[in-house]
Chain A
Amino acid sequence: DTEVTQTPKHLVMGMTNKKSLKCEQHMGHRAMYWYKQKAKKPPELMFVYSYEKLSINESVPSRFSPECPNSSLLNLHLHALQPEDSALYLCASSPQRGVYNEQFFGPGTRLTVL
């Protein structure tokens, strides 16, 4: 299994809702990432987990809450989002953190906040 899967593909939520994005990989990778991508922009790193521990938080607002329940799963819990948080949310994984860092991306979740 050489892919990263993400669910759901699309999500529409109101500003008072609580929802979660899910990411899964079965490649034995020990580093997992959340990125946010707005239209016509490059992916922007949000969080990095290494060996199931949060190692980087790129000053992301607390309305985004990551969780890594085990080495294959990564969740992003969403609460009280703003319309400007609408974007494509990408999950990625790599064998481990390090300079030689080929990350493998999932297809993304297209999030719309109303």
Chain B
Amino acid sequence: DQQVKQNSPSLSVQEGRISILNCDYTNSMFDYFLWYKKYPAEGPTFLISISSIKDKNEDGRFTVFLNKSAKHLSLHIVPSQPGDSAVYFCAASGTGTASKLTFGTGTRLQVTL
């Protein structure tokens, strides 16, 4: 039962353009969402988070949007840079989940020159 889904396993974007990574969830108890970035042979690095009382959170080039009614969130990276090439995981937690993070399956982003 995959409660957090990232339906695009990979995405290729040109340098300077916008990257949009999507994530869907099914558990209505989730009310806090996070994005992590992972390079090969390294642990995930926390990028940005959003609580369910907001619909947008911005940090530099990264913006996360949350649509609670659709149970959907997205990560926008503008402008995309080659160093952004990595696997991106969305994760969710919430009341009733014992504060566990549930991760999506990841999207591999490739930013090309």
Contacts and interface: CB of A to CB of B under 8 A. Distances in A.
A102 B46 contact: yes
B46 A100 contact: no
Nearest to B9: A40
Contacts of B106: 40, 42
B42 A100 contact: no
Interface string A89-110: 0111000011111111111101
Given A42-B89, A99-B32, A56 B105 contact: no
A45 B100 contact: yes
A92 B43 contact: yes
Contacts of A92: 43
Nearest to B89: A42
A21 to B, nearest CB: 13
A21 B89 CA distance: 24
A31 B43 CA distance: 17
Interface string B89-103: 100011101111101
Interface of A: 4, 6, 31, 40-43, 45, 48, 55-56, 90-92, 97-108, 110
25 contacts: A6-B43, A31-B99, A42-B89, A42-B104, A42-B105, A42-B106, A43-B89, A43-B103, A55-B98, A56-B100, A99-B32, A99-B93, A99-B95, A101-B32, A102-B46, A102-B49, A104-B46, A105-B36, A105-B44, A105-B46, A106-B43, A107-B41, A108-B42, A108-B43, A110-B41
Given A56-B100, A102-B34, A105-B45, 6 more contacts: A48-B98, A91-B43, A97-B98, A100-B49, A102-B49, A103-B101
Interface of B: 31-32, 34, 36, 41-46, 49, 51, 89, 93-95, 97-101, 103-106
